[in-house]
Amino acid sequence: MPRIKAHFDRLSHLFLPLSVLVILIVINLIKGADYFRITMVNGAFYGNIPNILFGASELVILAIGMTLVTAASRGQDISIGEIGAIASAIFVQYVLRAGSAVTLWTILAGFLISCVAGLLIGAFNGTLVSFFRVQPMVATLILFLGGRSIAFIIDGKVSPILANEISNQIGTVIPGVPIQTPIILTAVFIAVVVVVLKTTNLRLYVEAVGINPNAARLNGIDPKKIIFLTFLIMGVCSAVAGFIAVNKAGRHDSVNLLKFIMMDAILAVALGGNSLGGGKFSITGSIIGAYTIEILNRTLLRLEVNPEAIKAFKAVFIIILMVIASPVVRAFVRKVVDKAKTIVAANSVRKTVGLNKAVFFITDSSAGKKEE
Amino acid sequence: MLSEIILKMEGISKSFPGVRALHNVDFTLRRGEIHALMGENGAGKSTLIKIITGVYEKDAGQITIEGRPVQFKSPQDAQNMGIGTVFQEIALCPNLTVAENMFIGRSRSNFVKWKQMNAKAAEMLKSLGIPASPTQELASCSIAVQQMIAIARAVDMDCKILILDEPTSSLDEDEVQKLFALMRELKARGVGIIFITHFIDQVYEISDRITVLRNGELIGEYETAALPQIELISKMMGKALSDVTAMKKHEPPKAENSVPIFEAKELSSAAGVKPFNFAIQKGEVNGFAGLLGSGRSESVRAIFAADKVTGGEVKINGKRVKIKTPLDAMKQGIGYLPEDRKGDGIIDELSVRDNIILALQVMKGFFKPLSWKQTEEFAHQFVEKLEIKTPSLNTPIKSLSGGNQQKVILARWLLTHPMYLILDEPTRGIDVGTKVEIQKLVLKLAEEGMSLTFISSEIDEMLRVCSRLIVMKDREIIGELSGMNLTEQDVMHMIAQGGK
């Protein structure tokens, strides 16, 4: 029972992303009642929901990494799109080198190599932030600026094309499986994260370091190592996101692959009810936040907002959200609720006050006797 | 003039979800008096103060200032009515200068007249005898000086009512006397002062009247001169007098010749403590005595490797070991309760449960999380054993009172079953009841075979629990005192004479 209650306490953080989700769904249902309809096309599910899950897969993975980086380092990694671009460029080069004889093993090996690349880049960022104490946004600005050039140099030419069947299936569907592959990969990734959180103290360490690094250190946690670790994880998340993105696209466009996705990832973390100042975090919130952003994008498209104006609409929507979720408005709502509660409680308490006074009198006088 | 009532509070009640913080409390403050507000942690002192200062809104009751009913909507309202406050935790900006801190947010114009401001600040610092320069960065002042600057700031705001919440907890005797001189001066000017402290001697030294709260209720209002100390303590604790006086002093352990459980030779750290030798026997309680800044905290921090260790060697049970990080020390069975509870001890947003299991969890390792059930058991066990008052195990530790937070940190270390536990100022800013509980606990732990180092600014407290005192001055050990009949004078003499 207390455990359920503790979970419920955590769930209260999800109030914001969930309520936004509901609002967006209601808007979509008003626009057309067939919003939830799912049809089968060529043996795969097709409809709004699968599209959203498909479209948000990279963002969800990146939002998870961003949540951890934010919680531990109290700052954000703005180079994640670039890490993804570099890691996937390496993946593409490895696959292309295999020529026409691409097997599942080639893809797998390429994927693992790109993950190692992600780890190394994450280590670079992490070293700057944890050991040299550069502010995260400044440290990652380096790769944000230079990363795409590196990806371009690895590519060697403009947009190399991934023309093998396996890549195509990873980016779309595997025949016979009704769910698009990126959705499955995202689900697997989330499952891995859940297992990691269950079998390690990652949450406790990261939260302790994010809230009070001094106290964490005096309890045997090395804040530097933990911050470094979150950047390593972020690097892997970026590599995985790059892998999915490049397979979806079928070619490696070093300029546009995962461009500006760090903005959405940071937004997803904030929407998820997480403080951008570090400390306690909710990965569930960030995941819901990421899907919410995808739904928002698609809702605006569905409402036939001019594509040029979408960004402005999005900005307005986000401002409204942030104001609603701000501590000021929350405190106001709480006050109103509390007042309503006390009025109800006062009416019932009034009847018992007389009795209480009598009891206090008796206990006081008996206590007095003991003292003597 | 003395009898004129400046502040009157009647029937004040305040509840928080699940807690009744204040119930029907009356409080009166006269012009030109120093009124001590006493009570244990959770008695409702802080809540009452927060209602006076407009931080909380009362649920019921009436407040009148100089005969006029008032209703505070915000701290600003209270400030405008002439209520100045200095809180226990210094609420200044460490990265600004002293003068800026004194005048910040008070200028009517948008531009700052730097020269004028600095001159005014300099004059005030001088008149109050505060050893700081106006252009100095606040962080470079000692905590004690920062505290005095906070008071100077409040005083300068033309207040009629000054609230001092634990102003002396980080001051040494000399500074306390300076502060008291200042308080007497203000009193003579007709300011009503509400004084909250855990130092009972100070209450008797300076206050005119005492109001005692317990569990959110008014116990009574007394003339200080007419209320014996021991009676005050028993009223605060709600316990009979015999309970309060029953503490027994600890006998030093017999086995003097055995190998010390912990031994340090020529230990030094980056915090600037001079190389020192130190040893402690099994079941011994010793203490580092000395004035503020004498290096007592730095010494124990060096033992725990809380600061970077720069030299020396350490032996555990006669065997040489390397302690480079706090984790090394923890693995050798050493626990350390830091002096700065807020900055180094609690992880404020984490739950009581997480705060209790933290050290044990870290010792078990990153890949071996305790199960939910285990954490539940451990936390529950210590909440009961140490009588930690918390609504639930999942409550963030920051919403607990100071004394209960300290008990959580104690629980954290006791859970690791250390063989040597260092307690640096474990009773600072804590009510008498909890203080006595902690002292008793220390003696009990020592009886069970744990070795402890106990540091306190209150020498009488150390004399009560420690069988051996290591006396420090100017970051150096100048001598050692032991025996059952030590007095405060002995320690003072040693510090004054700088050794033998």
Average pLDDT for B214-242? 81
How many Å lie between the alpha carbon of B355 and the closest alpha carbon of chain A? 9
| Chain A residues with beta carbon closer than 8 angstroms to that of B25 | none
What phi, psi does B498 have (nearest 5°)? 65, 45
pLDDT at residue A360, rounded to an integer: 42
Specify the DSSP class assigned to residue A98. T
pLDDT at residue B249, rounded to an integer: 54
Helix or strand (DSSP H, E) at A46: strand A44-47
Closest chain A residue to the Cα of B24, Cα to Cα: A357
Average pLDDT for B223-232? 85
Whether the pLDDT of residue A13 is over 80: the answer is: no
Specify the DSSP class assigned to residue B42. T
Reported as a pLDDT band with limits 50, 70 and 90, residue B266 is very high
Closest chain B residue to the Cα of A6, Cα to Cα: B394
Whether the pLDDT of residue B410 is over 50: the answer is: yes
Q: What is the pLDDT of residues A203-218, one digit of tens each?
A: 999 999 999 999 999 9
Q: Which residue is associated with the tokens 């909440």?
A: B383
With H, G, I as helix, E, B as strand and everything else as coil, classify residue B122.
helix
How many Å lie between the alpha carbon of B255 and the closest alpha carbon of chain A? 32
How many Å lie between the alpha carbon of A83 and the closest alpha carbon of chain B? 27
Highest mean pLDDT among A214-228, B20-34, B76-90, B144-158: A214-228
**Amino acid identity at B195:** F
Pairing of strands B161-165, B83-86: parallel
Whole-number Cα distances in Å, B39 to A29, B55, B432: 60, 20, 8
∠B419-B267-A225 over CA atoms, to 5°? 70
Q: Is the dihedral of CA B272, B273, B274, B275 positive or negative?
A: negative
Closest chain B residue to the Cα of A202, Cα to Cα: B366
Contacts of residue B206, defined as CB under 8 A and 6 or more positions apart, other chains included, come to: B34, B180, B183, B184, B195
CB contact under 8 A, A218 and B363: no
Residue of higher predicted confidence among B434 and B374: B374
With H, G, I as helix, E, B as strand and everything else as coil, classify residue B456.
coil
CB contact under 8 A, B394 and A5: yes
In angstroms, rounded to a whole number, what is the distance separating the alpha carbons of residues B94 and B192? 29
Closest chain A residue to the Cα of B323, Cα to Cα: A220
How many Å lie between the alpha carbon of B487 and the closest alpha carbon of chain A? 30
Q: Which of A248, A341, A294 is nearest to A51 (CA)?
A: A294
Whether the pLDDT of residue B124 is over 70: the answer is: yes
Reported as a pLDDT band with limits 50, 70 and 90, residue A365 is very low
Residue B6, both tokens: 């400046």
Highest mean pLDDT among B101-110, B180-189, B305-314: B305-314
CB contact under 8 A, A204 and B358: yes
| Structural domains in chain B plus CATH codes | 5-241 (3.40.50.300), 262-497 (3.40.50.300)
Whole-number Cα distances in Å, A265 to A62, A185, A287: 6, 18, 10
Q: Which of A306, A279, A315, A119 is nearest to A207 (CA)?
A: A279
CB contact under 8 A, A212 and B366: no
The tally of CA atoms less than 13 A away on the side-chain side of residue A171 is 18
Residue A14, both tokens: 């999800």
In angstroms, rounded to a whole number, what is the distance separating the alpha carbons of residues B208 and A28? 70
Q: What is the ipTM of this complex?
A: 0.83
∠A88-A91-A95 over CA atoms, to 5°? 140
Q: Which of B7, B474, B126 is nearest to B273 (CA)?
A: B474
Q: Which residues pair with B192 in a beta bridge?
A: B161
Class at the top of the CATH hierarchy for domain A2-325: mainly alpha
- Residues of A with a Cβ under 8 Å from any B Cβ are 2-3, 5-6, 9, 198-202, 204-205, 207-208, 211-212, 214-222, 279-280, 338, 342, 360, 367, 370-371
CB contact under 8 A, B372 and A200: no
Average pLDDT for B331-358? 94
* Helix axes of B402-415 and B372-385: crossing angle, nearest 10 degrees: 120
CB contact under 8 A, A218 and B304: yes
A174 burial level (CB within 10 Å; 0-12, 13-18, 19+): middle
Length of chain A: 372
| Chain B residues with beta carbon closer than 8 angstroms to that of A369 | none
Closest chain A residue to the Cα of B359, Cα to Cα: A219
Whether the pLDDT of residue A8 is over 80: the answer is: no
Whether the pLDDT of residue A220 is over 90: the answer is: yes
Highest mean pLDDT among A368-372, B34-38, B140-144: B34-38
Helix or strand (DSSP H, E) at B35: strand B34-38
Q: Which residue is associated with the tokens 């928080």?
A: B16
CB contact under 8 A, A201 and B361: yes
Whether the pLDDT of residue A120 is over 60: the answer is: yes
Whether the pLDDT of residue A40 is over 60: the answer is: yes
| Count of beta carbons in the 10 Å neighbourhood of residue B302 | 28
The mean pLDDT of chain B is 85
- Structural domain boundaries in chain A: 2-325, 330-371
Q: Does residue A79 contact residue A200 with C-beta atoms inside 8 Å?
A: no
Q: What is the pLDDT of residues A335-360, one digit of tens each?
A: 887 777 777 766 655 544 444 444 44
CB contact under 8 A, A222 and B330: no
Contacts of residue B457, defined as CB under 8 A and 6 or more positions apart, other chains included, come to: B172, B292, B425, B428
